[in-house]
Structure 1
Amino acid sequence: MKPTPDTVPGIRPGFRLQFEPAQGCRVLLYPEGMVKLNDSAGEILALVDGERTVADLVTRLSERFPDVPGIEEDIIEFLENAHGEHWIEYR
């Protein structure tokens, strides 16, 4: 499902985002295991709090990384994939 600018993504119950020093990156923990996230995925999920809209995420990340072309499309694509993997839910 493609999120709209007003969609509010949240990390699904049972999942927890944290920085894992042994991995040197953010990871998404869940009862059956762990997903090691790349830097971009970690930056996006760090802002997914169940309160910010997709538009808020795009604004914040665009300000943080102004030299990244097509960042909005990348964020939306990641959210679609994360939703498809059942890491996040839309509220």
Structure 2
Amino acid sequence: MNQPLVSKIPKLRRGFRLQFEPVQNCHVLLYPEGMIKLNDSAGEILLQVNGAHSVGQIIDTLSERFPDVPGLDEDILAFMEVANAQFWIELQ
């Protein structure tokens, strides 16, 4: 597991908002220039991003909710790296 990333605290970047969009039947990430339609996994991960919980705590929470998903921790770490690279989140 990527120790430095696990200890970071993610938060949505300024101007981004996560919400469930009934018309799309999924969570979306809204920002001034548009909208990002999220798959179920991305939506579940971003629902945990509140600026207070570390990536490690998010992994623990989702591992408890979805105990039968193999490699969940690595999937969450990979998503956090992509979300950070796409400027959806900040890692502190």
TM range, smaller chain: over 0.9
Normalising to structure 1: TM-score of the pair?
Answer: 0.96
- Output the amino acid matched with 2:59: V
Unaligned runs of 5+ in 1: none
Deviates more, 1:2-11 or 1:26-35: 2-11
Question: Corresponding residue for 2:61?
Answer: 60
Unaligned runs of 5+ in 2: none
Normalising to structure 2: TM-score of the pair?
Answer: 0.95
- Output the amino acid matched with 1:22: V
- Output the amino acid matched with 2:48: L
Identity across matched positions, percent: 59
May I ask how many residue pairs the two structures share in their alignment?
90
- Note the aligned Cα RMSD (angstroms): 1.0
Q: Which runs of 4+ in 1 moved over 3 A?
A: none
- Output the amino acid matched with 1:34: M
Question: Corresponding residue for 1:7?
Answer: 8
CA distance in 2, matches of 1:55, 1:79: 11
